[in-house]
Amino acid sequence: DTGVSQDPRHKITKRGQNVTFRCDPISEHNRLYWYRQTLGQGPEFLTYFQNEAQLEKSRLLSDRFSAERPKGSFSTLEIQRTEQGDSAMYLCASSFGTSGGSYNEQFFGPGTRLTVL
């Protein structure tokens, strides 16, 4: 399967703990996105990478959140000192885009469901 993969699929943690999620995009895709989705709502944008550069961050991404894409391939999203409000589905997507901002189809992974107790 050459789609977007995410790990883990489910994570249960206690408030105050740190968690890290991983996303492996489609191999030829240079753009990678993180979104967060709560029950009954559409996804909310968190951050965007083109290759290894983090080009855009939402105001939703507080200081407790950090994302990396060190070699322009896989990405990690870390949440420090988790809070109950962080409970959500964390979705990763990838696409191929050329410079100049052209937009191409985004493909999503299965998501990581985080529950903070």
CA separation for the pair 113, 62 (Å, rounded) = 19
Whether the link from the prior residue into 8 is cis, omega within 30° of 0, is yes
Write the DSSP symbol of residue 85.
G
CA separation for the pair 10, 88 (Å, rounded) = 10
19, 61, 91, 114: which one contacts another protein (CB under 8 A)? Answer: 91
Residues 51 to 90: which contact another protein by CB under 8 A?
Answer: 55-56, 89
Choices 12-20, 60-68, 73-81, 103-111 (CB under 8 A): range interacting with another protein? 103-111
Enumerate the β-bridge partners of residue 51.
none
Residues 33 to 52: which contact another protein by CB under 8 A?
Answer: 33, 35, 40-45, 48, 50
State yes or no: residue 107 binds another protein (CB under 8 A). Answer: yes
CA separation for the pair 47, 117 (Å, rounded) = 25
Binding-site ranges for another protein (CB under 8 A): 31, 33, 35, 40-45, 48, 50, 55-56, 89, 91, 93, 97, 101-103, 105-111, 113
